[in-house]
Amino acid sequence: MLFKGTDFDDNLSLNNKIERLGGDFNAYTDYISTVFSISALTEELDNGMQILRDMLIFPKFSEEDLEKEKGVILSELRASLDDAEEITHKNLYYNAYDRSPLKYDVIGNEETITSFTSDMLKDFHRKYYVPNHAILVIVSDLEHEDVIEKVEKIFGKWQIQADRPLDLVFEKNIPGRHTAFKDMEQSSLAFLYTFHMTEKEKLPLRILNYKLGVSGNSILFRELRENRGLAYDIYSDLDLTENIQNFLIYTQVPDESLDEAEELILSILSEVKEGKYFQKDDLVIMKKVLKTSIFGTLDNIHDLSSFILDEMLNHEKPTMFEKDLEKLNEVTLEDIISVSRKVFDGPTIYRLRGLSDEDDHTDQ
């Protein structure tokens, strides 16, 4: 709705201003934040920030535009119900948690979407869209002092409001195995593990994630695709956000291979905890891969700004990667095996079976 108009511009005028930047203006919402991003020439930094300021501080929230936007979001929601990967992730999280907000998908459902009013949005905006809840990340070739001057000029009158800390309490996933049915060609399979990691344990876990399910020569990819021919693709994903920390594994396979794939993945994880698949040479390679990833992030303004934002949201210094590079040399195979034993215990498993079962399309 912030893209629909401000106190100074209607929808058309606002979008014309954005277009004249000659760059990209976008936004997304995840579980803990809403992020607005601008990519444009440095010469357009002032104009870009002024548009962002107007959207953040002076949104119109007209009832007419809200009704139109509800239709857009409902369409997005319904489209997601046709996506096996999205459905699997949603239901995996729904079954993995009891009280955590992670239980519920960010987009909501038809009932919540249709219930919103302009006054509700204005009230939410007034409470939470305040500078003391905001982080501004700017990646450019300008001097720091010059950027500070621009920010103070454009955002300096944004008034601090009463602080409203969010109560994000960590919740361990509920171990279990759940099955649902959908008329589709393939079946999907997902595993979720949650945990509390110390700062020292995060780096070995990142290395483990790359080796297990991120690199092109990952353990899961090699075993399920190259050696068994069970899946076209399989991946792991690691989230170390404060109070959300989890490890996810996802794949799609023919339904007749679903049980075999599940058993194989659990067997692989069990063997990882015993130290199989890891040699000293592997550790050297994994460290190189992680270094490559870090330097690749530093070379890309989009990735770098996202990285800095994530670090700030986790109350960490954006320059922590420098220490990570130093600490890489200290990580041992024992460290990696130790964190694997801590993580891979008691998964929530969700299976979306590609069967047309008229009797039962619900969770089992």
pLDDT of the residue at 162: 82
Q: Alpha helices of the chain — where are they, by DSSP H?
A: 11-20, 45-57, 63-80, 84-96, 110-115, 118-128, 144-155, 199-209, 219-221, 258-273, 280-298, 301-313, 320-328, 333-343
Q: Quick one: tokens of 255?
A: 């339904």
pLDDT digits (tens, 9 = 90+) for 87-137: 999 999 999 999 888 999 999 999 999 999 999 999 999 999 999 999 999
Query: For a pLDDT cut of 70, what percent of the chain falls above it?
Result: 98
Q: In Å, how far from its chain's centre is CA 41?
A: 27
Q: Are 343 and 195 in contact (CB under 8 A)?
A: yes
pLDDT digits (tens, 9 = 90+) for 313-351: 888 888 777 777 778 788 888 999 999 999 999 999 999
The reply to whether 176-353 shares the fold of 11-155 is: yes
Asked whether the predicted pLDDT for residue 360 surpasses 50, the reply is no
Asked whether the predicted pLDDT for residue 364 surpasses 60, the reply is no
Cβ-based neighbours of 308, under 8 Å, separated by 6 or more: 137, 139, 318
pLDDT digits (tens, 9 = 90+) for 34-72: 999 999 999 999 999 999 999 999 999 999 999 999 999
DSSP state of 322: H
CA triple 172-173-176, angle to 5 deg: 145
- Report how far residue 2's alpha carbon sits from residue 66's, in angstroms, rounded to the nearest whole number: 10
Asked whether the predicted pLDDT for residue 196 surpasses 70, the reply is yes
Please choose, from the candidates 270, 286, 267, the residue with its C-alpha nearest in 3D space to the C-alpha of residue 278.
286
- Report how far residue 203's alpha carbon sits from residue 310's, in angstroms, rounded to the nearest whole number: 16
Q: Are 63 and 118 in contact (CB under 8 A)?
A: yes
Architecture of the CATH domain 176-353: 2-Layer Sandwich (3.30)
pLDDT digits (tens, 9 = 90+) for 262-316: 999 999 999 999 988 887 777 787 778 778 878 888 888 888 898 889 888 888 8
Class of domain 11-155: alpha beta
pLDDT of the residue at 167: 72
pLDDT of the residue at 173: 96
Asked whether the predicted pLDDT for residue 218 surpasses 50, the reply is yes
Mean pLDDT of the chain: 90
pLDDT of the residue at 356: 53
Query: Angle at which helices 63-80 and 118-128 pack, to 10 degrees?
Result: 90
Dihedral angle of Cα 27, 319, 340, 194, to the nearest 10 degrees: -40
Instruction: Write down the domain spans for the chain.
Output: 11-155, 176-353
